[in-house]
Structure 1
Amino acid sequence: MTPDGQRWISSRPAFLLPVRVLSRLFRRLFLTGLVALHAAGQLGFFGEVQNLADRHAFLRYLAPLRRKNWVVYAKPPFAGPQAVLAYLARYTHRVAISNRRLVAMDERGITTRYKDYRQDGAARYQTMALAPAEFIRRFLLHVLPKGFHRLRHYGLLASASRKANLARIHDLLAVPQPVTVQAPAGEPAPEPWRCCPCCGGTMIILEILVGSLQPRAPPPAAKPTGRWVS
């Protein structure tokens, strides 16, 4: 949407983000991170590159890298955008560990199941016992500090102006308003659970299965009687 809110600028059909700009952004963040690690004394240099321990020598070494074109490889997802959303949702809408990975709690501590990606086949799935204090410490590493949000919306979806922005975008794109099906006069509105999640229509009850009853199944085929004649 243009800054004045009067026009919508469409992108190319296969466009998500400018890969060239992303490459330069990644280059800057990567090299800035290296400089910060060097300043904190967290990089070790040995052998032929031992002279890079000096700050000025290290900066001279990085200078040509700032002028090179870094390549960021971007491609459409194999299974479509839904697969990407499902993958990211595991990190944004779930806790640090799921209940099914908790195996046991005994005198050894808390036993959990994990994946060792260096192994193949059944050996990849292993278990690990942790003391309660260590398990709690690792779990709390995934808890955000006070005041931080796990998800934050920016731009057109920023919380302060999202409603007005989406309404204006719908107007610019001439998006039809959703059709609300009204119940006939004198007829109660259908319960929410009777609305189809796909089309919004009212679902029809064919049969109600009581908890103590089993669903009906086709009768078993009759066993053949008599002799076989060849």
Structure 2
Amino acid sequence: DEMKYDMCGSASVLGTIQAVAELQLPINVIGVIPSSENLPDGDANKPGDVVTSMSGQTIEILNTDAEGRLLLCDALTYSERFDPDTVIDIATLTGAIIVALGSNATGLMANNQDLADDLLKAGNDSFDRTWQLPLWDDYQKQLDSNFADIANVGGKEAGSVTAACFLSRFTEKFKWAHLDIAGTAWNGGKEKGATGRPVPLLMQYILNRLEG
């Protein structure tokens, strides 16, 4: 039943927007939440399908369980209409990030090092910590497809990094960071429930920006 926590990325967007509004912070923040009912039917994705993203790039479906990034990539393209200075996406995107970082740190990847540094600092300031993983071009080739512009998964190696590489293909027009919260969004066992992370990190980042 922990699959319901896959909406924690959306919840953290709502939580951040609510906090900014309640504090009446003088900053323009827009939240974009792509949502879809995830149920099997006759129109469901199948292995081998090729779909066209909002950006026009075609995507080969190699793994139907890598469906969240199909929503996220269109949300990133949709965000272009707001001419944003910075875009931060938040998602419980990969189980691989739990293997890499456990439940202590959120995975961070970015196409701009200054933005990554600001988020790392905000994480340390708020004790809602994040850890940066590489977004090197070396990993991009794992997403090569014989039938489309890009495959939706990159194989067994570096799953969290290749997932971010996939998203990076849709972020050429703005500074962007990706937060993979699959390991930090909720607790299991006797403390079962959502943690609210990374709202403290995001709010600290916003406050730090306002302080200049």
Asked which structure has the greater RCO (Cα within 8 Å, sep 6+), the reply is 2
Q: TM-score, normalised by structure 1?
A: 0.18
Whose helix proportion is higher, 1 or 2?
Answer: 2
Whose strand proportion is higher, 1 or 2?
Answer: 2
Q: TM-score, normalised by structure 2?
A: 0.19
Structure (1 or 2) with the larger CA radius of gyration: 1
